[in-house]
A and B are shown apart, each in its own frame.
Chain A
Amino acid sequence: MTSPRVPAIRLGDLTKSFGDVHAVRGIDLRIEQGEIVAFLGPNGAGKTTTIDLLLGLSQPTAGSVEVLGHTPRQAIARGLVSAVMQTGGLLKDLTVRETVEYTASLFADTQPVDAVLAHAGITGLADRRVGKCSGGEQQRLRFAMALLSDPALLLLDEPTTGMDVEGRRAFWAAIRRDAEQGRTVLFATHYLEEADQYADRIVLMRKGRIVADGTGSQIKALAAGRTVRATLDDPDHRALARLDGVDSVEVRGDTVLLHARDTDAVARYLLTQTGARDLEITARGIEEAFLTLTGDADHADTDTPTPEGALA
């Protein structure tokens, strides 16, 4: 990652607002060539907006977007970036070959149409109308179109939605092979497992901000942790929230729930410094933990120590 090459993506304090809706709230990100990076976050975290900005489909409200040293539009004009859309984006009354020929003719340099058809496994469909192809066949066609210009950066928004397990595995195997040849891949997903399994690096987004950035195991460690539950009269919410390693505090009557990375220390504190009783420590499921990291929980941003920038 210390390559002297120009970074695949460089975002500087990128902001995008739609009226009062702040979809992206100032993100800084640098992705080197050849990395496979997952944009992880729930719906509405700003993943798709960021991808649209990277593709030049919308203009930033503030901040900068640089793709392989170019503006998004310049990068696209040179065939350096491409993306695969989930639905639509195809003309039903063209044949598969016409669609690929049409797209190929728009670029200055492209792979030969026949080679691309063969690579995508759709040579046999070449003369079929796109409207008569199945969903899976259309998806393969979209991939063929995206790879026509041999892009240095491939952007995928929720690429495996609707695929079965087998399809998912085949898809990621193909992406891996591509990346080994130097292609950078950035994909958005809301599945922690998918991000963990297939990405070298996970960028965690929440409410338009990057809340964590690291390898899968780093993110999982961050998301891991346990919950301490205790009965406590007059709990001091603020004091509890200030404890080392506490991610969040929840008070339900005289019951407190503390999510923490170091639950031993929390337990020790509760038992020695407060009148807590009925102590119970439970491990948190990874999905639940992920929701805590990215979710829009009751607590406000300022009130709770978040893992913001913890690994960035």
Chain B
Amino acid sequence: MSTTTIDPAARRVPPLGGLNTTVLRIELRRMLRNRRTVIFTLVFPAALFFAFGSGPDWDRSVGHGNVAAYVMASMALYGAALTAASGGAMVAMERALGWSRQLRLTPLSPTAYILMKALLALVLGAVAITVVNLAGLVQGKPAMPTHVWLGCAVLTLVCTMVFAALGVFVGYLVPGENAMQVLGPGLALFSFLGNVFIPIDQGSTMWHIASLTPMFGVAEVSRAPLTGDLPWYAVLNAVVWLALFVAGAAWRMSKDTARV
């Protein structure tokens, strides 16, 4: 290399704590190269939509749309939650591999790193939502006004942050590549309880239990533009679970940093 004398005063600090598009591009390519990620987060939710969204009563009216639209919004949430959670779990895996320590030897600031992971989770969540919505468009059964359609998609994207935090948290509790083996079935269970796959009779004992689980609130919130109904307990559920997961992730992360 063409080193002569190194002048410490001539060196610059990168903007944005080192955050840049090259890193985002490589990270995105890396996620999409993982066959398991692609199948479970992009193909699987779309397939579920085709299965559940074509039931005999698909055209029954729900709020401002129909049942197929309701199922589509639900599956988009499920897919986005899975992608965001697997993205979050990667943070813990990267710690275990020593990659985070390697990154600390570069100008990338810890804040920029978390911001980058959050952005990635959002981008991948958006991809998952888009795939399910495109599946809906192609199939042609979901019906709702365009602004409702968009509203659901955007709210779903916001709600995925809950699961990005959950992913980080679980990634620390269950180290290595096993995190997704816990998150996959776990999120499926929460989705059943959260009214995402099959509607639960409102007011039943089951419903009361379900209303306390983490997928319940975000599901109601993300479908609110369609149903035209946003119960206070759903918002409370979403906010409380987000706070719990973020606190859990932050707690495990601070523990981990102390050991570096």
Contacts and interface: CB of A to CB of B under 8 A. Distances in A.
Interface of A: 6, 33, 52, 55-58, 68-70, 74-83, 85, 87-94, 98, 101-103, 105-109, 111, 115-116, 119, 145-147, 150-152, 178, 181-183
8 smallest CB-CB distances across A and B, nearest first, come from A88-B98, A105-B22, A78-B11, A89-B102, A108-B12, A152-B6, A181-B3, A106-B18
B3 A106 contact: no
A106 B107 contact: yes
B97 A90 contact: yes
B255 interface: no
Interface in B1-37: 1, 3-6, 8, 11-14, 18, 20, 22-23, 26, 29-30, 33-34
A78 B6 CA distance: 12
A76 to B, nearest CB: 6
A79 B107 contact: yes
B181 interface: no
A234 to B, nearest CB: 53
Given A90-B99, A103-B106, A107-B106, 10 more contacts: A33-B6, A85-B102, A89-B97, A90-B98, A93-B33, A98-B30, A108-B11, A119-B1, A181-B1, A182-B3
Contacts of B8: 6, 68-70, 75, 78, 80, 152
B208 interface: no
Contacts of A91: 30, 94, 97, 99
A90 B105 contact: no
Interface in B25-72: 26, 29-30, 33-34
Given A6-B8, A90-B99, A182-B3, A108 B26 contact: no
Q: Which among A77, A115, A116, A182 has the highest number of chain B CB atoms within 10 Å?
A: A77
Contacts of B105: 55, 76, 81-83, 146
Nearest to A94: B30
Given A78-B12, A93-B34, A111 B102 contact: no
Chain A's interface: helix, strand, loop or mixed, by majority?
Answer: loop
A107 B105 CA distance: 11
A119 B3 CA distance: 12
Contacts of B34: 93
B253 interface: no
B102 A76 contact: no
B145 to A, nearest CB: 42
Contacts of A90: 97-99, 102
Classify chain B: how many residues form its interface, as a range: 20 to 34
Interface in B120-148: none
Chain B's interface: helix, strand, loop or mixed, by majority?
Answer: loop
B23 A77 contact: no
B35 to A, nearest CB: 11
Contacts of A101: 22, 26
Nearest to B113: A106
B235 interface: no
Nearest to B101: A89
B237 to A, nearest CB: 36
Interface string B194-208: 000000000000000
Contacts of B23: 102, 105-106
Contacts of B97: 88-92
Nearest to B34: A93
A178 B4 CA distance: 10
A108 B107 contact: yes
Contact of A57 (B3, B33, B94, B104): B104
Contacts of A150: 1, 3, 6
10 contacts: A75-B8, A76-B105, A79-B107, A80-B6, A91-B94, A94-B26, A116-B1, A145-B102, A151-B6, A152-B6
Contacts of B107: 76-79, 106-108
B246 to A, nearest CB: 25
Contacts of A79: 11, 107
A245 to B, nearest CB: 43
Contacts of B3: 150, 178, 181-183
Contacts of B14: 77, 106-108
B108 interface: yes
Contacts of A74: 13
B22 to A, nearest CB: 4
A78 B13 CA distance: 5
A80 B23 CA distance: 21
A119 to B, nearest CB: 6
A128 to B, nearest CB: 14
